């Protein structure tokens, strides 16, 4: 582990309230690794040995069943993953693989559980993080069950625009095939959904998106904080 990584980790919500001593204990046992793109970090079903933190790059969480595969989400720097499995000492429900060259910190799950027992501030942070993730997944289910694929796409774009600062033009940070899978559709269908949004002033060329008529697409998307607000 590089010393230069430490402040970045310490500043994450999960770690920034805990006692220095506990933090040191966690860091002591931690590994840092640089992974090449498309590397499988975790295979679904494996026991959960480490809590992972993305320091740099991006990691895909995905799931398989019966030769089918779906992308659950994509994580970027600062995100932690498989916290729930680490805490419960249960098998991982999702696989993880890098999308690009990525730097990942791995803290032995056992250490996480041990520090969790000792440090109340950390326990508090774990609960907040878990509750946050839980609510995120609930929002995802609501989107899947209540919206058509075009509506999901429209809302995804509005959300991304906001995240990117709100300007008319911004860029997709995810491959379209993966975006399709996240949104619960096929790549072919995503292509068509994109065309279907053209009358609403949405233009997508490569990974450049521009939203010409924000009012129009909002009428279609009908975003609500109860599904689309990543905070709260």
Partner DNA sequence: CGTTCAATTGATCAGCGTCAAACTAGGTGG
Partner DNA sequence: CCACCTAGTTTGACGCTGATCAATTGAACG
Q: In the complex, which residues of this chain contact DNA (CB under 7 A)?
A: 148-150, 175-177, 184-195, 204, 206
Neighbours of 98 (CB within 10 A): 21
Displacement of CA 156 from its chain's centroid (Å): 14
52, 81 in Cβ contact below 8 A?
Answer: yes
Q: Which residues in 172-231 belong to E strands, given as ranges?
A: 202-205, 208-211
The residue ranges that bind a second copy (CB under 8 A) are: 44-45, 63-66, 68-70, 72, 83-85, 87-88, 90-91, 93-94, 116-117, 120, 123-124, 126-128, 130-135, 137-142, 144-147, 184, 222, 224-227, 232
Residue 177 binding: pick among a second copy, DNA, none (C-beta 5-8 Å cut-off by kind): DNA
- Torsion angle of C-alpha atoms 149, 155, 161, 166, degrees rounded to 10: 160
Task: Give which of 186, 204, 203 is closest to 149, Cα–Cα.
Answer: 186
Chain position carrying tokens 């890098």: 98
Minimum CB distance to a second copy, residue 226 (Å): 6
Residue 77 binding: pick among DNA, a second copy, none (C-beta 5-8 Å cut-off by kind): none
**Which of 7, 206 has the CB closer to DNA?**
206
Residues in the chain: 232
Residue 2 binding: pick among DNA, a second copy, none (C-beta 5-8 Å cut-off by kind): none
**Which of 185, 197 has the CB closer to a second copy?**
185
Return d(Cα 32, Cα 56) in angstroms, integer: 11
Neighbours of 229 (CB within 10 A): 13
**Which of 20, 188 has the CB closer to DNA?**
188
Minimum CB distance to DNA, residue 205 (Å): 7
170, 209 in Cβ contact below 8 A?
Answer: yes
Minimum CB distance to DNA, residue 36 (Å): 11
Residue 72 binding: pick among DNA, a second copy, none (C-beta 5-8 Å cut-off by kind): a second copy
Residue 66 binding: pick among DNA, a second copy, none (C-beta 5-8 Å cut-off by kind): a second copy
């Amino acid at each position: 582990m590089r010393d230069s990584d430490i402040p970045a980790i310490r500043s994450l919500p999960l770690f920034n309230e805990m006692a220095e001593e506990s933090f040191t204990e966690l860091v002591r046992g931690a590994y840092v690794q640089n992974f090449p793109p498309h590397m499988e970090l975790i295979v679904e079903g494996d026991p959960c040995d480490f809590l992972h933190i993305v320091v740099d790059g991006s990691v895909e969480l995905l799931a398989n069943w019966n030769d089918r595969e779906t992308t659950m989400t994509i994580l970027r720097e600062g995100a932690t993953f498989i916290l729930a499995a680490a805490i419960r000492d249960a098998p991982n429900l999702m696989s993880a693989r890098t999308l690009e060259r990525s730097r990942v910190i791995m803290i032995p799950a056992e250490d996480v559980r041990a520090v969790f027992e000792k440090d109340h501030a950390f326990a508090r942070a774990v609960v907040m993080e878990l509750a946050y993730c839980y609510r995120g997944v609930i929002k995802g289910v609501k989107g899947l069950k209540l919206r058509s694929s075009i509506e999901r796409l429209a809302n995804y774009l509005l959300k991304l625009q906001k995240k990117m600062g709100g300007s008319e033009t911004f860029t997709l940070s995810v491959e379209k095939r993966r975006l399709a899978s996240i949104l619960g559709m096929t790549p072919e269908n995503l292509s068509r959904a994109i065309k279907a949004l053209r009358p609403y002033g949405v233009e997508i060329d490569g990974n450049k998106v521009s939203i010409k008529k924000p009012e129009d697409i909002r009428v279609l998307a009908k975003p609500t904080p109860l599904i689309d607000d990543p905070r709260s």
